[in-house]
Chain A
Amino acid sequence: DAKTTQPPSMDCAEGRAANLPCNHSTISGNEYVYWYRQIHSQGPQYIIHGLKNNETNEMASLIITEDRKSSTLILPHATLRDTAVYYCIVRGSGTYKYIFGTGTRLKVLA
């Protein structure tokens, strides 16, 4: 089973920040959180990952709570092209396997 839970869907106005939450309450101390997105009929696209510190790159920011039981992916200025399904993944200890949850379907509205 997936180690993460996400809301099934969210809407965001174009130009506004999109904040996508993820719960991973059973995460272990050395397990990273990975975020991907999938646009229809394409493979998942890597966005960002982190362990415990907040991370930022050209695509997004990742905020991880101090207890590491949840995180939030922030797209600072959402565009229509950000409409996709976003997956938060915690890889199991001792394995490279990803078990995908249901993800969040983000719809950016004009």
Chain B
Amino acid sequence: GAVVSQHPSRVICKSGTSVKIECRSLDFQATTMFWYRQFPKKSLMLMATSNEGSKATYEQGVEKDKFLINHASLTLSTLTVTSAHPEDSSFYICSAPGIDNQPQHFGDGTRLSIL
């Protein structure tokens, strides 16, 4: 079964709205989670590393004020797309690392459409 749960799976909203996406680790604790963005027919692009109890680490070129990340507990990380515009429409995916060299667990992704 899924070990990382992502919600919602799809959201459609008006321009200017802020949208929150949740990523939960099931049955295990994750002090770190990752957020990716994916455009159609493109690969996954790492946006940021979410750290429990401290600030997220953003990859170069990712706007911190646009993509707010909060890692409030050992099982929950949230990504908020603030004042979303059509260009923010994309597929957002979260993941949690496995222990040591075990593979990452990915969520099913969130399709965000801004009208």
**Chain A residues near B (Cβ < 8 Å):** 32, 34, 36, 38, 41-46, 49, 51, 87, 96-103
Q: Across the interface, do A43 and B109 meet the contact criterion of CB distance under 8 Å?
A: yes
Q: Is the interface of B mostly helix, strand, loop or mixed?
A: strand
Q: Across the interface, do A98 and B93 meet the contact criterion of CB distance under 8 Å?
A: no
Least CB distance from A101 to B in Å reads: 7
Least CB distance from A100 to B in Å reads: 4
Bitwise interface map of B from 94 to 113 toward A, beta carbon under 8 Å scored 1, else 0: 01010001011111110100
Q: Which single residue of chain A is at the shortest CB-CB distance from B91?
A: A41
Q: Which single residue of chain A is at the shortest CB-CB distance from B45?
A: A100
Q: Which single residue of chain B is at the shortest CB-CB distance from A95?
A: B49
| Residue from A32, A36, A46, A102 within 8 A of B101 (CB atoms) | A32
Chain B residues bordering chain A, tally (CB within 8 A): 23
Q: A41-B109, A41-B111, A102-B43 are in contact. Are A46 and B6 (CB under 8 A)?
A: no
Least CB distance from A79 to B in Å reads: 22
Least CB distance from A50 to B in Å reads: 10
Least CB distance from B9 to A in Å reads: 9
In angstroms, Cα B97 to Cα A55, docked, is 21
Q: Does B11 contact A (CB under 8 A)?
A: no
Q: Across the interface, do B91 and A96 meet the contact criterion of CB distance under 8 Å?
A: no
Q: Across the interface, do B46 and A97 meet the contact criterion of CB distance under 8 Å?
A: yes
Q: Hey, which chain A residues are within 8 Å of B36, CB to CB?
A: 100
In angstroms, Cα B109 to Cα A36, docked, is 15
Q: A32-B101, A34-B103, A96-B104 are in contact. Are A43 and B6 (CB under 8 A)?
A: yes
